[in-house]
Amino acid sequence: MVGALDPVVRNLGCIDGTHVRILSPGSPAKKDYVNRKNFHSINVQVTCDSRGLITSINAAWPEAAHDAHVFRSSAIGTYLDHRSLENGVLLGDSGYPCRTFLLTPYLNAANAVQERYNDSQSKTRCCIERLFGVWKRHFHILHAEIRLKPEKCNNVIIACAVLHNLAKLWDEPEVLPVDELRYVETPVYIAHQNGRGIRDHIANNYFAR
């Protein structure tokens, strides 16, 4: 895990969505692809690790699909379902549900402990924002417009993800720095297994200074 949450828990990575602009599908469903900025796009769900490697990607949904629905329907969502804190967690923003394997911010932090948790969670989650910047800078088509049918856009986006990972594994020059990793053991969580309980466990153990 990168950033201020390094001492807290083994981290599977971070999750977020990004919009990739596409040509209007020209079909009755085209309105589903119109985003808030009034252009057509695909809602691409990505998870990454602290090295900036893409660990999963789903590029099959139009802009209208909510991030939480995309996650529930994805292979990574199915795989992680019912995993516990000891297996590691994903970090996501408030667009995702707080689950045993997916920790999100407190929507309304009630005290200093929760505020410190939110600040650390946000700083750690910056690695996926950095990934999107690097990825789209290397592959301009992801930042411009893919002029293909949506199902073919999916293939292009995934191909760019594979090429990004190969560039990382082959030690191509970094556009942005990657923070040093540090892991330590996390106290055992013995209570009802739900996302909010685990989030409270982490906040109270590591941010109640």
User: What does the alpha-carbon distance between residue 209 and residue 113 come to, in Å, rounded to a whole number?
Assistant: 8
User: Counting beta carbons within 10 angstroms of the beta carbon of residue 122, is it exposed (0 to 12), middle (13 to 18) or buried (19 or more)?
Assistant: middle
pLDDT grade, residue 153 (50/70/90)? very high
Nearest to 17 by CA among 50, 51, 61: 61
- The strands making up 89-91's β-sheet, listed across from edge to edge, are 54-62, 41-48, 11-21, 89-91, 102-103
pLDDT at 15: 94
At residue 5, does pLDDT exceed 50?
no
Domain parsing of the chain, residue ranges? 3-206
Place of tokens 């750690």: 124
CA angle 18, 21, 23 (to 5 degrees): 150
Q: Which two tokens stand for residue 153?
A: 């856009």
- Sign of the dihedral through C-alpha 66, 69, 70, 71: positive
User: What does the alpha-carbon distance between residue 203 and residue 189 come to, in Å, rounded to a whole number?
Assistant: 12
Digit-coded pLDDT (tens) for 78-134:
888 877 666 778 999 998 988 888 999 998 888 999 999 999 999 889 889 999 999
Contact 55, 48 (CB under 8 A): yes
At residue 147, does pLDDT exceed 70?
yes
User: What does the alpha-carbon distance between residue 3 and residue 126 come to, in Å, rounded to a whole number?
Assistant: 8
Digit-coded pLDDT (tens) for 8-59:
345 678 999 999 999 888 776 678 888 877 888 999 999 999 889 999 999 9
What is the value of pTM for the model shown?
0.76
